[in-house]
Amino acid sequence: MNGARLIARLRAELGDSSVLVDPDVTASYSHDMMPLADRAKPLAVVLPADVEGVQATVRACAEAGVPIVPRGAGSGLSGAANAIEGCVVLVLTKLDRILEVDPGNRLAVVQPGVVNLEFREAVAKHGLFYPPDPSSYDWCTIGGNLATNAGGLCCVKYGVTTDAVLGLKVVLADGSLLATGRRTVKGVAGYDLTKLFIGSEGTLGVIVEATVALKPLPQAPATLVAAFDDTGKAGDAVARVVREGLVPSLMEIMDATSIKASEKYLNTDIGAGSDCQALLLCQSDLGGEPAKQELAAIEQLCKDAGAAFVYATDDLSEGALLLQARRVVLKALEVYGTWLTDDVCVPRTRIAELITGCERISERVGLRIAVVGHAGDGNMHPTIVYDAGSEDEFRRAREAFNDILDLGLSLGGTVTGEHGIGKIKQDWLAREIGPVGMRVHRQIKAALDPENLFNPGSMFPME
């Protein structure tokens, strides 16, 4: 089946408006937010409105031998949603219904096109809470979160996406619909296929529905900020919190470069001081006196580690302003140029070493590097700023990106904590998990997708 015949079939089955071929339109669907990843021209962009439309698309593409690249909102940072030449980009944003909220069992059933923040707001009306909150939570979709096993600022207490998922419905390479998991709290029947598909970046199937576990809505958070004149002291404070068994609902770290960028962007002073080299932000959602006690314990640990300044508040507006300084870092860095954010996770006792290592890389390549991250779980996001119009600066940015990955591995870490492998870290995945691990990955891929239909070239190179 040639391309024209495939497009005609897709239009016949899904409707003309669901199949886009205008090059100017399809180009906007051909990539995510990662500038290092290659992209190509898709044959078409397909936007099915229901599960049956997804199945019809998969069957048609399978018969035509045309690869499929599943896509959500495009907020990813690994190139996993980038088109390859002649593919069909399968966009799932029209599957945007919250199918069920069950307060009695604290679960919900949701389609992949639902925006993370809108879902959180919907379940909050039932007194419930969906914890995963990526930084792009106001526009990223649940499907993309599932495909990359996204995390967020609340990971330290509530875990990443996979920790909230009970079951899935997935369209397989032959167009059949697989149901995995359960609706019960416990369940160990068979292999854990749910976790297999979460984080698979669309290489094994197309997720079209998820059953997720919800938490009781937390109390309004109290917030603590601690400033350090030495990065090592901040790292020591994190280690002390972990050793004491304290689990705040949020624990974020910012280096001096990110602090200055946020203060300039917000036109405010967040109290860090000119000598501040690292800022620790913590929140407790225990409410009332328990929250005050938790933050008081963290405050003492920060002081013991040598904090120059510590401030705690239960005022929501103050807390929101302090947290905003963390959330706007990427936007703030745009003042200086184009940003390229990395994603490594290291043991929590080695966070300070990662930050100081990034400072050395910054000096060597001659580019600004800001480091922010989830201190509670060691997932750090060094962000390189460069001039997109300069080939030399782009080359140096790519060099710095890889040097940071190398640094992360040398510290006993992993090359991705939440953004995924995508089309930029295949060699790094092979280095991290070794030849036996890669062989098993390829065997699983071949078993579920023998014709390499789904997102070829993502996770590991095409053969």
Domain boundaries, given as residue ranges, for the chain = 3-91, 98-216, 222-410, 425-463
Pick the CATH number of 222-410 from 3.40.50.300, 3.40.462.10, 3.40.50.970, 3.40.50.720: 3.40.462.10
- Summarize the confidence of residues 353-370 as an average pLDDT: 96
Query: pTM value?
Result: 0.92
Residue 135 is predicted with a pLDDT of: 80
Q: In whole angstroms, how large is the CA radius of gyration of the chain?
A: 22
- Name residue 167's amino acid: G
Q: What is 98-216's CATH topology?
A: 3.30.465
Which residue in 406, 384, 409 sits closest to 395, CA to CA?
384
Mean pLDDT of the chain: 93
CA angle 203, 209, 213 (to 5 degrees): 110
In this model, does residue 463 exceed pLDDT 70? Answer: no
pLDDT digits 0-9 by tens, 177-220 = 999 999 998 889 999 999 999 999 999 999 999 999 999 999 99
Instruction: Look up residue 75 and give its two tokens.
Output: 């907020």
pLDDT digits 0-9 by tens, 408-443 = 999 999 999 899 999 999 999 999 999 999 999 999
The CA distance from 184 to 213, in Å, is 10
Instruction: Look up residue 77 and give its two tokens.
Output: 């940072």
Q: For the residues of 389-427, what is the DSSP string, one character each? A: T-HHHHHHHHHHHHHHHHHHHHTT-BS-SSS--TTT-HH
User: Contact at 8 Å (CB) between 312 and 320?
Assistant: no
Residue 270 is predicted with a pLDDT of: 73
In this model, does residue 71 exceed pLDDT 90? Answer: yes
Q: What is 3-91's CATH topology?
A: 3.30.43
User: Contact at 8 Å (CB) between 449 and 456?
Assistant: no
In this model, does residue 274 exceed pLDDT 80? Answer: no
Q: For the residues of 156-205, what is the DSSP string, one character each? A: HHH--GGGGEEEEEEE-TTS-EEEEE-SSS----SS-HHHHHTTSTTSS-
Which residue in 257, 255, 235, 238 sits closest to 247, CA to CA?
238
Catalogue the long-range contacts made by 404-408 (C-beta closer than 8 Å, 24 or more residues apart): 404/342, 404/344, 404/357, 404/358, 404/361, 404/369, 405/342, 405/344, 407/344, 407/354, 407/357, 407/358, 407/361, 408/344, 408/345, 408/346, 408/354, 408/380
Residue 273 is predicted with a pLDDT of: 65
The pLDDT > 70 percentage for the chain reads: 98
Residue 200 is predicted with a pLDDT of: 96
The CA distance from 188 to 190, in Å, is 6
